[in-house]
């Protein structure tokens, strides 16, 4: 007999419906909205059926929702809360009371919208944030449009902050309007219901699609006004080059209070918005749906220069606008903060818009930054719909503040896990598709960083990036470090993917094992071009970004014990490693004033996973030492003081130690990772 618990059929239907609705961006944004179902299940204490409410828990995403993401409540106890409800002024107290209605362990934490789902007298309820629905919800004449578009099947609900009272309001609307299938929530989104899961889903889709069709058929031709001369999109190559050139400054702007990770998009929706006359007015109004402005901040920073403005002029103006933005945000906070309000969380923008170029979005990690950008695209779509039919009229500033600095939102933020050591740090690791580079990249991601995997072999770089978690954690890029143009392109790709650069690991290399007389000029040049010149080019190009950002940074050189130790048949390799080792000292002395630390690591032969050893170096070294190639790792271990083989992970550990806060006051250091080779001791 199977002991695996079977999913309740009602729950299975709810999960399937949620995934379908949440996987289509026209229905709702990432982590936006919630769904629920009411049904019965066996109470293991009494053995009798009990009525339950299953509802998406706090912070979950409908598109990827699993059963573990549901909150499970006793319906009778949840509805009994109406009898102890102290009124709208104290409705926040009801959130803690939900804990006393949970069934068993209760699953995920109940969200603020739980009351809406539990109190509405329908077996299935969907609350969603579709662009088309929010466009109606934010139109100045939203109530009239709701009636015109939907008749009496959808009822307008004036703006009310999410919570217990909103649940009561919608429950009363459902009771008073038995013909209705849902609501437009002013300034917010939609809610729909049904007697079956299928009926609720169909009602949700009908509201969304009907609103979208009405907007499409009735919108005025230019919702964002006339085209602005000079504000049209630059061609793709030009706008991406300009975006990369501006990114260090924009990241500095977004990170004045705390470091942030970024994301860039030149989506047509953004470029079209910025190319029209009304974009300054609409951007200043900010977003409306709570999910939107919690992710994007109360409003974006918009560069007020045409697309062909020079980089220098754009940088100077962005800095001026940043100061004005911070002053304005502080004033916004001061206007509305009360004695018990949470402290200001920072006055920097989360969204920066540059006409002709695109949108730069920022957050505590790559996913947060990317999603913030997606939310602002949702907001642009909402503005287009509202302006096309009426006038965009988001909820007022006071209400936005009440959401942004809500005690419940603050408590949610405080429950977030402590950031990892390298959170918000952006790294570029060269030669990272295998061996030492791959191990370092893996360790950096594990410690919270995002990483650009740069390698000559693009396919392997992309495979490695996928192994490490995909584009929200790592990207794979092609890079020939001996080519200055290729290096610049690799760093530009890193900037556009992650918003900046903090850590550079010069690891790319190759080796030719030949005696002095066998080493050709071509051999010598190849070794030096890849490692000595390559490290120089990467460090020089990266240092420009690090200095412009003003956030400090780390440059790590993977040198070698051969930079100190003199071995046979190794002239070109060891000489270039000595070059790299001295670059560490030279750059540490030069870049220290910018708080950029430069350190090196001197490994002994790392055989496992090494691209260098697999490409013939291992066979040559084994021949030099008169052993089988398969025994090379053990041979290297036996010549060390500790008699231990050096693995890629050992070098990765050293790289992390040098980058971490524990060695924040260390620069110009070479760390041996060689299990003890006396001849390579630094002295």
Active site residues: 573
Kindly report the number of other CB atoms within 10 A of residue 300's CB atom.
Answer: 21
The residue whose two tokens read 């008699």 is: 643
Specify the 3-state DSSP secondary structure of 71. strand
Q: How far apart are CA 360 and CA 112, in angstroms?
A: 30
Contact present, 553 and 598 (Cβ < 8 Å): no
Q: How far apart are CA 376 and CA 527, in angstroms?
A: 48
Q: How far apart are CA 302 and CA 544, in angstroms?
A: 25
The residue whose two tokens read 């006071």 is: 398
Q: How far apart are CA 509 and CA 481, in angstroms?
A: 9
Q: Compute the C-alpha angle 321/326/332, nearest 5°.
A: 120
Q: How far apart are CA 278 and CA 230, in angstroms?
A: 15
First to last CA, the chain: 70
Closest by Cα among 213, 212, 214, 194 to 204:
194
Q: How far apart are CA 615 and CA 457, in angstroms?
A: 14
Kindly report the number of other CB atoms within 10 A of residue 141's CB atom.
Answer: 14
Q: How far apart are CA 250 and CA 301, in angstroms?
A: 10
Spell out the residues 6+ positions from residue 525 whose beta carbon is closer than 8 angstroms to its own: none
Q: How far apart are CA 29 and CA 22, in angstroms?
A: 8
Strand ranges (E), 542-634:
553-558, 596-603
Q: How far apart are CA 54 and CA 118, in angstroms?
A: 9
Eight-state DSSP code of residue 68: G
């Amino acid at each position: 007999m199977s002991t695996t618990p079977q999913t309740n059929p009602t729950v299975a239907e709810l999960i399937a419906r949620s995934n379908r609705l949440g996987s289509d961006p026209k229905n709702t944004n990432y982590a936006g909205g919630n769904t629920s179902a009411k049904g019965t299940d066996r109470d293991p204490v009494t053995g009798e059926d009990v009525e339950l409410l299953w509802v998406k828990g706090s912070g979950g995403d409908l598109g990827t929702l699993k059963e573990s993401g549901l909150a499970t409540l006793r319906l009778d106890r949840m509805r009994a809360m109406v009898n102890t409800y102290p009124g709208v002024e104290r409705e926040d107290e009801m959130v803690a009371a939900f804990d006393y209605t949970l069934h068993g362990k209760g699953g995920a934490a109940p969200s603020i919208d739980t009351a809406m789902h539990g109190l509405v007298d329908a077996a299935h309820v969907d609350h969603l944030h579709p662009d088309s629905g929010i466009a109606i919800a934010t139109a100045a004449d939203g109530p009239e449009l709701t009636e015109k578009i939907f008749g009496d099947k959808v009822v307008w609900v004036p703006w009310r902050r999410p919570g217990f009272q909103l649940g009561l309001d919608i429950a009363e609307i459902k009771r008073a309007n038995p013909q209705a299938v849902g609501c437009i929530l002013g300034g917010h989104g939609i809610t729909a219901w049904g007697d079956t899961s299928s009926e609720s889903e169909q009602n949700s889709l009908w509201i969304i699609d009907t609103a979208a069709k009405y907007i499409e058929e009735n919108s005025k031709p230019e919702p964002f006004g006339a085209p602005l001369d000079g504000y049209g999109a630059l061609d793709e190559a030009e706008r991406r080059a300009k975006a990369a050139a501006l990114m260090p400054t924009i990241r500095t702007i977004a990170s004045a209070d705390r470091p942030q990770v970024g994301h860039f998009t030149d989506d047509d929706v953004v470029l079209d918005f910025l190319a029209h006359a009304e974009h300054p007015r609409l951007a200043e109004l900010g977003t409306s749906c709570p999910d939107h402005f919690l992710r994007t901040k109360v409003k974006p920073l918009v560069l007020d220069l045409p697309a062909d403005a020079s980089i220098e002029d754009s940088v100077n103006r962005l800095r001026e606008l940043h100061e004005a933005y911070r002053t304005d945000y502080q004033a916004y906070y001061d206007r509305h903060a009360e004695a018990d309000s949470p402290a200001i969380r920072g006055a920097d923008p989360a969204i920066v818009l540059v006409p002709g170029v695109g949108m730069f979005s920022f957050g505590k990690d790559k996913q947060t930054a990317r999603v913030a950008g997606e939310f602002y695209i949702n907001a642009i779509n909402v503005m287009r719909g509202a302006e096309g039919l009426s006038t965009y009229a988001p909820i007022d500033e006071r209400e936005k503040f009440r959401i942004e600095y809500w005690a419940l939102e603050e408590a949610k933020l405080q429950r977030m896990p402590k950031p990892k050591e390298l959170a918000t740090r952006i790294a570029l690791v060269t030669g990272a598709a295998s061996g030492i580079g791959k191990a370092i990249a893996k360790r950096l991601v594990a410690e919270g960083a995002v990483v650009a995997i740069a390698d000559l072999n693009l396919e392997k770089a992309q495979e490695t990036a996928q192994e490490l978690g995909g584009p929200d954690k790592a990207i794979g890029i092609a890079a020939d470090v001996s080519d200055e143009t290729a290096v610049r392109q690799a760093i530009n790709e890193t900037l556009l993917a992650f918003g900046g650069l903090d850590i550079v690991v010069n690891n790319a290399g190759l080796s030719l094992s030949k005696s002095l007389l066998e080493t050709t000029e071509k051999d010598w040049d190849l070794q030096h071009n890849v490692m000595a010149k390559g490290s120089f080019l990467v460090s020089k190009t990266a240092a420009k970004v690090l200095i412009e950002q003003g956030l400090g940074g780390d440059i790590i050189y993977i040198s070698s014990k051969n930079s100190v130790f003199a071995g046979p048949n190794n002239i070109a390799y060891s000489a270039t490693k000595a070059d790299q080792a001295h670059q560490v000292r030279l750059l540490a002395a030069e870049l220290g004033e910018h708080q950029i630390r430069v350190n090196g690591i001197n490994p002994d032969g790392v055989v496992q996973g090494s691209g260098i050893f697999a490409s013939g170096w291992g066979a040559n070294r084994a021949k030099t030492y008169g052993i089988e190639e398969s025994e090379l790792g053990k041979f290297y271990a036996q010549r060390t003081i500790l008699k231990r083989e050096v693995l890629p992970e050992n070098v990765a550990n050293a790289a992390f130690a040098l980058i971490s806060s524990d060695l924040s006051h260390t620069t110009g250091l070479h760390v041996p990772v060689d299990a003890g080779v006396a001849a390579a001791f630094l002295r």
